[in-house]
Amino acid sequence: MERVDHYDIEGIDLISYSYKDDNRGSFSNLAPLGDLFKTFGVGSSLAVSKNPTAGTLRGLHFQLHPFAQMKFVTCVAGSVFDVVVDLRPHSRTYGKWAGRVLTLEDCISLVIPPGLAHGFQTIEPESILLYGISAQHSAEKSRTLSYLELENEWPLAITEISNNDAAGLKLLQCLNLFDERWQ
C-alpha cells in the first residue's frame, strides 16, 4: 500500500482555522458547524473521543452502505497521528493511505468522505478528538481494517487497542466489500 499526503487522497478536505490568544487563554471558532455540515454533507451528530494514554490506537474504522459515514475530525487536545485509507474502487487513490499529525495548535480539521477507513494513534496522553458524523453507528455495517497493514508507520508502540481493532480485516478483504455505490 502506498502512502500519500492527505492533499492527494481524493475527496479529503482540509479546513484551516485560527485561534486568538490573550491573558485568559485562547479561543477558536472551528467553523459554523451548521454550514460545514450542509456544505460537506456531514450530519448533525457530534462525538468526542477521549484517550488518556499515549500510544492508544483506534481504528481503522469504516461503515458499509447505507450507513457509510462522512466525518469532520478535529484534534482539540493533545496530538494524534491521524490515518485514512481509500477503499473506494473507483477512486484515483484507491488502496492508498495517508497520515499526518493533528494538534489543536495546527488549526486543521479534516473532512473525510464515506468509503475511507479512518483511525488514529495518540501521541500524547489526554488527546481528544471531536467528530461530526453523517450517519449513526451500525454494528451490522461497521468494519475495521487491520492496523497491521500499516505496522511500520505508527509513531509509537501500541499501548492500548480494543479487541475489535486488533482483529481487523486485511486490506484485500476490505477492498472486496465495496461496489459501484462508492463511485
Cα 59 from Cα 164, distance rounded (Å): 9
Catalytic residue among 61, 65, 137, 147: 61
Q: Does a structural domain hold residue 183?
A: no
CB atoms closer than 10 angstroms to residue 48? 9
- Give the SS3 label for residue 80: strand
Give the CATH number, domain containing residue 155.
Answer: 2.60.120.10
Q: What is the pLDDT of residues 117-151, one digit of tens each?
A: 999 999 999 999 998 888 888 899 999 999 988 76
Q: What is the pTM of this model?
A: 0.86
Q: Does a structural domain hold residue 164?
A: yes
Domain carrying residue 87: 6-178
Q: Does a structural domain hold residue 160?
A: yes
Q: What is the pLDDT of residues 72-81, one digit of tens each?
A: 899 999 999 9
Note if 61 is an active site residue. Answer: yes
Note if 131 is an active site residue. Answer: yes
Cα 130 from Cα 77, distance rounded (Å): 9
